[in-house]
Structure 1
Amino acid sequence: MRKTINSWVEDKTNDKIKNLFSPGSLNSLTRLVLTNAIYFKGDWVKQFNKNETRSEDFRVNQNQKVKVPMMKMTDENAEFNYVQTDNLQILEMFYEGEELSMTVLLPKNDDLKSLEDLLSVENLEQWQGELEKQRVDVYLPKFTFDSKYSLGENLQEMGMSSAFIPPSKPGGADFSGISGQKDLYIDLIIHQAFVDVNEEGTEAAAATGISFTTESAEPTVVPEFRADHPFIFFIQSQGTENILFMGKVVNPAT
């Protein structure tokens, strides 16, 4: 079963996500596995010139710098949705068709933690509402984002605790609407994501597996958006405003 599920995920994500469920993650008590996968490959409306990409410093933290391939766009065609606040710069770049875009949130003071603390639906809506199309000199590192998480603890902290409790215990899970019996509870939730950003555009994929177990404004000077320190990014649908992918880049060299 594990190999069948992993093979399906690989196929749906163009082989970008492999081995979603590792050996031993599913066992003889596993009765139901819910899995979803998404794959996206998009070219920028305004692509970066590969000849302009240079090796430059990226400040991982106050004590560490690494060399990364830094993409550059500073010509007259470099018009993007952009705004800056007291704490951060925000840049939105569209993919061909303009149905999807990538937004980059870049803290001004290199303090990514403070920016993470500011993240909320309300703040994102406010920042995006202030974006204006204008000339911006853009410096953005090429990066590959590949991560795998176990979401069980996070979801329980967010209030989904009963789903992980055996049905025989107080406050236990009730998935009888799925199985017809009150004998299922969630054993683990694994999420894996892959994002590759380069001069041409972005390739991205994500998969989530759930295992159920039986009991047991126009400036006078062109602003510069230089992403040479940790930042947050997300890919969003313009029609639904749903965020499809989101992550933070701390060290593009890894």
Structure 2
Amino acid sequence: MSIHLYHYRFLWLIINAAAMDTPFEAVSKGYSEFSREFYKVVSEAEPGNIVSSPMSCLIALAMTHAGAKGDSIQEIARALHLPENMTHALKGLSEVVTQLRRAKKVELSLANKIYVTKDFPILEEYSMALEKYFQVEAENVVFTDPSTADKMNEWVSEQTKNKIKNLVDSNLFDDQTRVVLVNAIYFKGSWLKPFETHKTRYNRPFFTDVNTSVPVPMMFQQTEFNYRKLDELDAQLLILPYQGNDMSMAIILPNKKDGLKVLEEKLATAADLGEILQSGSPLKVEVHLPKFKIETSLDLVDHLSKMGLSHIFSDNVNLSGISTTEDLKVSNVVQKAFIEVSEEGTEAAAATAMRIVPMCRPCYRTDLPTVKCDHPFVFYLNFKSTNVFGGRVTNPANNFGL
């Protein structure tokens, strides 16, 4: 009797769908890169104290991008770090904004508006996209009427609780102006762990350089915050949360009094700034933080061009998704931003406008880590891992009436 042995081999093929980012995830990742580049070009070009809002800028640009057609869709999307699929880009950004509006126990509002010259036809598809994804208010105006600029400024001032005034000047508009898109962001939040006013010390030195200091009011507290030594940046990270824990201010303080320039250069090439800003661990620390108030006005055309957006200002851009009656391009992008930090918390606001025209034109403990912000530092105001405002403090005595 013979026995036959049969050997069976089975090859199992398991095929999984490739992991794809959702529109929200894709936009969130892209925005992290956009905000890093935005801070880089602004900080390189603008001296002194700065506050700006990459989020406000991106929303205004995205409202214009919604009217792009042809090759301009991909070209603008790449520069904005948005998905090249227009629907995914708009849906993802809309979801990001929806998340921002849900921030708990703080006031965070975003508003958008489009002003269109009378008798200029906007395509229904474009109007519907702005309404669906950006909740845009629309208004017909006469741009050559000086009162139009006043009307816009009143709207911005109302949306930002009177913190942003005179965003636009009537000289910005002429008979070639067809559309102006405006975004406004306002934030007000109280610290989860407020600074006690009686511990604030006045006339404390803040070193604007190694040998020069100015007297400023310095807030103080010893408590537990998320903290980390950033050896790769030769700096310290401190996270100050606001009530509700959705919003926080991240401060990156260079270890050297004259270390701001090198720090900014390193941040400009950081692999993942968002990850750095979320990397602190709870630790009791001693914090010295100056009160400060900063207002910044920016003309963003050159800055955005350095970020790869020169196409949107050129005669080659295709914005026929806005209107087919004339060839259009963006001629101006301006932003004003404001921030004030005190013992109670932070108030911040920003507004961005885009003009579209035809193409023809205390008590000390030495055993605690100390974050002593007595020299220039960088700050970011974040919703979870999303940067809403950013800037630097080089002299808190400026813009504070001291």
- Are 1:96 and 2:243 matched, yes or no? yes
Counterparts of 1:233-252 in structure 2 under 5 Å? 233-238=379-384, 241-252=385-396
When the two structures are superposed, what TM-score results if normalisation uses the length of structure 1? 0.91
Greater strand fraction, Structure 1 or Structure 2: 1
- Deviation, 1:162, is 1.6
| Aligned counterpart in structure 1 of residue 285 of structure 2, from 136, 139, 159 | 136
- Deviation, 1:182, is 4.8
Closer, same or farther: CA 153–103 of 1 in aligned 2, 3 Å: same
Structure whose CA Rg is larger? 2
Match of 1:25, as an amino acid?
L
CA distance in 2, matches of 1:139, 1:176: 53
Partner of 1:81: 226
Tell me, yes or no, if the aligned pair for 1:58 and 1:67 is still in contact at 8 Å: yes
- Deviation, 1:192, is 1.0
- Deviation, 1:61, is 1.1
- Are 1:70 and 2:218 matched, yes or no? yes
Q: Deviations over 1:26-71 (max 9, x none)?
A: 2221110000001011000000010011120000112421000000
When the two structures are superposed, what TM-score results if normalisation uses the length of structure 2? 0.58
- Are 1:221 and 2:367 matched, yes or no? yes
CA distance in 2, matches of 1:100, 1:121: 22
With 173-182 and 198-207 compared, the bigger mean Cα shift is at 173-182
Q: Deviations over 1:174-196 (max 9, x none)?
A: 11111224521111100111000
Partner of 2:351: 207
Partner of 1:230: 376
CA distance in 1, matches of 2:389, 2:278: 20
Closer, same or farther: CA 207–187 of 1 in aligned 2, 3 Å: same
Tell me, yes or no, if the aligned pair for 2:326 and 2:358 is still in contact at 8 Å: no
Residue correspondences, number: 241
Q: Which runs of 5+ in 2 are unaligned?
A: 1-147, 361-365
Tell me, yes or no, if the aligned pair for 1:39 and 1:204 is still in contact at 8 Å: yes
CA distance in 2, matches of 1:11, 1:192: 14
| Aligned counterpart in structure 2 of residue 151 of structure 1, from 300, 313, 320 | 300
Tell me, yes or no, if the aligned pair for 1:174 and 1:182 is still in contact at 8 Å: no
Q: Deviations over 1:110-149 (max 9, x none)?
A: 2111111111563424423531001000000000011010
- Deviation, 1:20, is 0.3
Partner of 2:178: 31
| Aligned counterpart in structure 2 of residue 40 of structure 1, from 177, 183, 187 | 187
Partner of 2:125: none
Partner of 2:206: 58
Q: Deviations over 1:206-251 (max 9, x none)?
A: 11000111233xxx9310000000000011111xx21000000000
Q: Secondary structure at the match of 2:382?
A: strand
Match of 1:112, as an amino acid?
L
Partner of 2:132: none
- Deviation, 1:24, is 0.7
Tell me, yes or no, if the aligned pair for 2:208 and 2:214 is still in contact at 8 Å: yes
CA distance in 1, matches of 2:389, 2:197: 25
Q: Secondary structure at the match of 1:176?
A: coil
Greater helix fraction, Structure 1 or Structure 2: 2
CA distance in 2, matches of 1:191, 1:164: 17
With 178-187 and 144-153 compared, the bigger mean Cα shift is at 178-187
- Deviation, 1:205, is 0.3
Partner of 1:169: none
Identity of aligned residues (%): 39
* RMSD between superposed Cα atoms in Å: 1.4
CA distance in 1, matches of 2:266, 2:325: 43
Q: Secondary structure at the match of 1:158?
A: helix
Q: Which runs of 5+ in 1 are unaligned?
A: 167-171
CA distance in 2, matches of 1:253, 1:81: 27
Closer, same or farther: CA 182–118 of 1 in aligned 2, 3 Å: farther
CA distance in 2, matches of 1:139, 1:45: 17
Match of 1:127, as an amino acid?
I
